[in-house]
Amino acid sequence: MHAARVLIDGPSELVFDYAIPDGLPVVPGCRVRVPLRNRSSSGTVLQVVEAQDLGFALRPLDSLTDPEPLITENLLKAGRWIANYYGCSMESVVRALLPEAVRTEENSAKTRKTVVLQGSPDEETLAKLEKRAPKQHTILSLLAHSPAKQLPLAELGASAAASVKSLASKGLVKLIDEEVRRDPEADGLDEILPDSPLTLTDEQQMALEAILDSISNDQFPIPKPEAPNMEKEIASPSAQHQPRSPGLGELGDLASPKSQAQSPLITDHSALGTAAKPFLLLGVTGSGKTEVYLQAAAKTLEAGKTVLVLVPEISLTPQTVRRFRARFAHVQEQVAVLHSNLSQGERFDEWHRIRKGKARIVIGARSAVFAPLPDLGLIIVDEEHENTYKQDQIPRYHGRDVAVLRAHLEGATIVLGSATPSLESFQNCLDGKYQLLRLTKRADSHSLPLIRVVDMRNEGRKTKANDTFLSERLRISIERKIANNEQVILFLNRRGFARSLQCPSCGYVCECPHCSVALTYHRTDDRLLCHICGHQAIVPRKCPECRDTGIFLQGFGTQKVEDVLKKVFPTARIARIDADAMRKKNALRDLLNAFQAKKIDILIGTQMIAKGLHFPNVTLVGILNADIGLHVPDFRAGERVFQLLTQVAGRAGRGELEGEVIVQTFTPHSPSIQFARHHDFDGFAEQELEMRRQFHFPPFTRCAVLTSRSTHKRLAEFTLETLHRRLKEDLPKSILLGDPLPSPLVRSHGQFRFQLMLRAASARTLAKHVQAALTKTTLPEEVTVVFDMDAWSFT
């Protein structure tokens, strides 16, 4: 006899076996109702197992909630891998796999009463009806003239029900419950004009052909990704930590002990044909990557397969989404865009449309990686370097890496695209794990914009105190553009909290001698601290380089910039995009539309405006403070600044007019700025990778962060110190263990936070060791401990 191993919905992570009643087609991934103590509960079947003889009969499960499994076998496999690798509960992963809207039964499909004509009535019947029941006659002729020979009951008038009932009793019509789609696009969206494929440039053509070759090549073996044995996200016993449940540890199919591969998820690359490798499409800004995606997607659909497109965030990439809609306007009903603001009902319908293969091209952010597309042929991850792909809540998965895994499980082709790929992905190309495709020229054959670097160390003396962020050069350029009716984007690189010390006259920044990241100033005890290794330093009263005494804390916000600019350019129309200004629904869309329509001269923004926007009339992009992001306690700081400068600069000169970029900085010689200035990704990657190798950072190690949080500062600190001591016992040589330290953002949401960083060549070794330490430690009730594998945020 077989039993279903069922994960019960709810936070307690309970797993129980239930007998499967005869004839019930229960397979892994099915949703079921089961008896639990004296009530009924819902759950997900993780496995179907041989029932053991326990000396008593297993309780049978009650029923299947859906006729078919909601989670496909491949997604269930991916889910198990995520639970293991990121050290979170399978329950939390099932929550990610099945959106709330799909799990709760109240959202079930919306239907409407519909009247369907049955055959065609003979003359005699019609004549009789016309005389005796004119209303029934009218309904029949309406139906006969409707294209589908059916009409919603509601459209037949208020009192049609009785007539329809008697028509039904005569067998002339049938009343059915027709499923209707709650169409998220039914109202309010701008009209989309269909467009057609462009003639590709040679580079685009070569990239497309490589991708298409891989799609038509079906020999795609199933990989064994590295799966460390982490159990779950760990919390205090009362809050989240529950005794280990049966079933979750048994991950035989994925947890291959031999797998040792480091980066994204692929173990034995020799087993994969060359065509099967993930592609990294490295194309300079404006090189036409999107056109390559569009044509690859079209071919995939033609081949009868489906397409998944991941973007960093739907609301921030409106132009990319619109281009997909326009290209596939002729099969509009096959496109699903998974916005975060879909209603529960809409989400339910879109999800089922996808699962049934009705929506064959899905566009969405991170969580769309779990869209249940059947026959997946192609996955595109646009702007693959974006940190929004890393989820910062349980389960803390990386959407791009899960996409790579999913592509392998499904035998699909995957294309990661960016003008500034992550060093993780680029190193995978150097290692031969990914295949690099390059677009080196802008598609419209315009040249990349000229980037000028303004040394702000010389500006302080020239300008008045209240507009020190605006150099002469930038001010003059803005004036000129406005006079010419051209548009300007000003970009403010902002980090709210972590402050570094920088000398205003020479630009010197206090850095950690061991880690080469900026030291963070802690006001409370007036000291500088390295948030990676714990190195401490006293605050210099004079600049160590130039002896200037004005060494200061830097940072100003978009609001202030806007105020000052309004004074400096009183006639200009100025608008600001930042998280505060964009709280209102559609505010971003309206503002971008206004900018497109040239109703705004100067647009000020933060990181938000760095992503794939395309405004032909923008001829000047100013970057006000290129340094800020450079001096945060994060080993990816230099990489982020390079990415931001390159992406932002890429917004200039995308039309007929030539573009100009002005970068203001206190550290004009920093490599991130210089390489960005020369549009030199390879140069940047080479020197940055050398630094990463030397200091043992990713992609050469796996890096995880262990954080303790509590409203009681001392408790949080003490807990992490205890964990640190445990971690030090029998520490494997290959693990680099950092000190327990206050987080850069030490207090957040009323909780005190302490963290330590772990690095190792193997994620598995790392996770195992952490798990062992946690098992040995009893966590106090009020403390939450969070494990973040492949951490992307160190705040």
Ligand X SMILES: Nc1ncnc2c1ncn2[C@@H]1O[C@H](COP(=O)(O)OP(=O)(O)OP(=O)(O)O)[C@@H](O)[C@H]1O
Q: Within 13 A of 335's CA, how many CA atoms are on the CB side?
A: 22
* 515 annotated to bind ligand: yes
Angle (CA) 285 679 660, round 5°: 75
Write down the residue that tokens 């714990």 correspond to.
534
For residue 90, give the nearest of 251, 203, 236 by alpha carbon: 251
Query: Taking a C-beta distance cutoff of 8 angstroms, is the pair 91, 7 a contact?
Result: yes
> H/E/C letters for each residue in 518-573?
ECEEECCCCEEECCCCCCEEECCCCCCCCCCCCCEECCCCHHHHHHHHHHHCCCCC
Beta bridge partners of 382: 417
* 88 annotated to bind ligand: no
Three-state DSSP at 292 gives helix
Shortest reach from residue 752's CB to Zn ion, in Å: 22
Q: Find the binder of Zn ion among 97, 139, 512, 789 (CB under 5 A).
A: 512
Please give the structure tokens belonging to residue 622.
Answer: 């100013």
496 to 535, contacts with ligand X by CB under 6 A?
none
Residue 443 near which of Zn ion, ligand X, none (CB within 5-8 Å, type-dependent):
ligand X
Closest CB to Zn ion among 111 and 694?
694
Residue 614 near which of ligand X, Zn ion, none (CB within 5-8 Å, type-dependent):
ligand X
Beta bridge partners of 117: 173
Residue 508 near which of Zn ion, ligand X, none (CB within 5-8 Å, type-dependent):
Zn ion
Residue 535 near which of ligand X, Zn ion, none (CB within 5-8 Å, type-dependent):
Zn ion
For residue 629, give the nearest of 616, 645, 614, 650 by alpha carbon: 645
168 binds Zn ion (CB under 5 A): no
Q: Find the binder of ligand X among 614, 696, 712, 768 (CB under 6 A).
A: 614
Residue 503 near which of Zn ion, ligand X, none (CB within 5-8 Å, type-dependent):
Zn ion
Q: Find the binder of Zn ion among 514, 599, 725, 776 (CB under 5 A).
A: 514
Length of the chain (residues): 795
Closest CB to ligand X among 425 and 701?
425
- State the angle between helix axes of 587-596 and 318-327 in degrees (0 to 180), rounded to the nearest 10: 80
What is the rounded radius of gyration, in angstroms, for the C-alpha atoms of the chain? 30
What is the C-alpha separation between 481 and 620, in angstroms, rounded? 7
Provide the mask over 233-272, with x wherever binding to ligand X is found by CB under 6 A and - wherever it is not: ----------------------------------------
Residue 419 near which of Zn ion, ligand X, none (CB within 5-8 Å, type-dependent):
ligand X
Amino acid at 746: V
Q: Find the binder of Zn ion among 530, 591, 600, 736 (CB under 5 A).
A: 530
Closest CB to ligand X among 266 and 613?
613
Closest CB to ligand X among 596 and 793?
596
What does the DSSP 8-state code read for residue 390? B
What is the C-alpha separation between 515 and 506, in angstroms, rounded? 22
Query: Contact region for ligand X (CB under 6 A) — 72-80, 199-207, 386-394, 685-693?
Result: 199-207
Please give the structure tokens belonging to residue 410.
Answer: 């499904």
Provide the mask over 534-553, with x wherever binding to Zn ion is found by CB under 5 A and - wherever it is not: -x-------x-xx-x-----
Write down the residue that tokens 């208020």 correspond to.
158
629 to 688, contacts with ligand X by CB under 6 A?
650
Angle (CA) 299 304 306, round 5°: 80
Closest CB to ligand X among 272 and 613?
613
Shortest reach from residue 581's CB to ligand X, in Å: 23
Omega before 699 within 30 of 0, i.e. cis: yes
Angle (CA) 567 571 575, round 5°: 75
Closest CB to ligand X among 291 and 410?
291
Beta bridge partners of 283: 439
For residue 501, give the nearest of 538, 463, 457, 462 by alpha carbon: 538
Distances 589 to 319, 580, 602 between C-alpha atoms, Å:
10, 15, 16
Shortest reach from residue 332's CB to ligand X, in Å: 20
Provide the mask over 410-449, with x wherever binding to ligand X is found by CB under 6 A and - wherever it is not: ---------x-----------------------xx-----
For residue 181, give the nearest of 349, 377, 413, 418 by alpha carbon: 349
Strands 31-36, 63-64: pairing kind: antiparallel
What is the C-alpha separation between 697 and 637, in angstroms, rounded? 12
Residue 72 near which of ligand X, Zn ion, none (CB within 5-8 Å, type-dependent):
none
Please give the structure tokens belonging to residue 105.
Answer: 């039964």
Shortest reach from residue 284's CB to ligand X, in Å: 7
271 to 310, contacts with ligand X by CB under 6 A?
283, 285-291
Closest CB to ligand X among 469 and 615?
615
What is the C-alpha separation between 612 and 286, in angstroms, rounded? 9
Closest CB to Zn ion among 149 and 696?
696
Closest CB to Zn ion among 424 and 634?
634
Query: Taking a C-beta distance cutoff of 8 angstroms, is the pair 46, 265 a contact?
Result: no
Q: Find the binder of ligand X among 109, 127, 180, 198 (CB under 6 A).
A: 198
Q: Find the binder of ligand X among 133, 200, 215, 298 (CB under 6 A).
A: 200
Omega before 21 within 30 of 0, i.e. cis: no
* 503 annotated to bind ligand: yes
Longest dimension (CA), the chain: 107
Backbone angles phi, psi at 310, to 5 degrees: -105, 135
Closest CB to ligand X among 507 and 650?
650
Provide the mask over 202-231, with x wherever binding to ligand X is found by CB under 6 A and - wherever it is not: --x---------------------------
Residue 287 near which of Zn ion, ligand X, none (CB within 5-8 Å, type-dependent):
ligand X
Residue 198 near which of Zn ion, ligand X, none (CB within 5-8 Å, type-dependent):
ligand X
Shortest reach from residue 502's CB to Zn ion, in Å: 9
Closest CB to ligand X among 612 and 659?
612
Shortest reach from residue 659's CB to ligand X, in Å: 12
Please give the structure tokens belonging to residue 594.
Answer: 């206004």
Amino acid at 351: W
2 to 31, contacts with ligand X by CB under 6 A?
none
Task: Please count the residues of this chain forming the interface with Zn ion, following the rule CB under 5 A.
Answer: 14
Binding site for ligand X (CB under 6 A): 198-201, 204, 283, 285-291, 419, 443-444, 612, 614, 650
Binding site for Zn ion (CB under 5 A): 503, 506, 508, 512, 514-515, 530, 532-533, 535, 543, 545-546, 548
Known binding residues for Zn(2+) are: 503, 506, 512, 515, 530, 533, 543, 546
Known binding residues are: 503, 506, 512, 515, 530, 533, 543, 546
